[in-house]
Amino acid sequence: MRDLLVPYYEHPSVRPAEWDAIIAAAPRLYGVVLNPASGPGEAPDPAFAEVAARLRNADVRVLGYADTDYGRRPGADVVRDLARHRDWYGADGVFLDQVAAGREEFGYYQRLATAAWGAGHGTLVLNHGTAPHPSYARIADVLVTFEGTWATYTRLGPQQWRGGSGVRLCHLVYGVPAGADLAAPARERGATVHCAVPGEGAHPWGTLPHGLELGSAQ
């Protein structure tokens, strides 16, 4: 089952074995977020282009990362990032980060969705980090309705999504202890896509998801 969404923010030339482990886990992957430089960067990066090609050859979605600053970033800048991800890395989807959750910002994201579809991106993932207004389900394939620590996740308990069943939900959890199972509690909360990593602090997404540690994905 393709239920693992991997945001792995390390350079392939620095962590080649880790990227090999991610690609080896292709049958489990819903998609991989490509983030060369808090976005596509200012010029194509050959190492990321090679990784993106390997992911596509393994039938894995490549999702280009773009920050939206909760609707404050100029839309033209976001659209430029989406075009660069497509042109430089062959991205077939988009992972929009720091997405606002309120109804009043929906128009901004609806315009970005239209631009993404027009650029040939077939998958749109919105990372709200919390449950957004149900309107966002109309434009997204996946809504990230939780991003945070394992301690917070387990303390909150099940909180069911009430915005309809036409979109997949995703939970991104860091600081997850070894041996902890995220798949079961994610399903209890209605999420069919997830990622659990051990990393903590300001850069948790520089660690491999549990189950994809080196040597375990073969």
Q: Is 74 exposed, middle or buried (0-12, 13-18, 19+ CB in 10 A)?
A: exposed
Q: What pLDDT score was predicted for residue 96?
A: 98
Please report, as a single letter, which amino acid is at residue 169. Answer: L
Cα torsion angle, 181, 52, 30, 97, sign = positive
DSSP class of 177: P
SS3 90: coil
pTM above 0.85, yes or no: yes
CB 145 within 8 A of CB 119: no
Q: What pLDDT score was predicted for residue 215?
A: 57
Greater confidence, 214 or 58? 58
Q: What is the pLDDT of residues 54-100, one digit of tens each?
A: 999 999 999 999 999 999 999 999 999 999 999 999 999 999 999 99
Q: What is the pLDDT of residues 146-192, one digit of tens each?
A: 999 999 999 987 777 777 778 999 999 999 999 898 999 999 899 99
Residue 44 scores a pLDDT above 60: yes
**Element spanning 197, H or E:** none
Q: Is 120 left (phi over 0), alpha (psi -120 to 50) or beta?
A: left
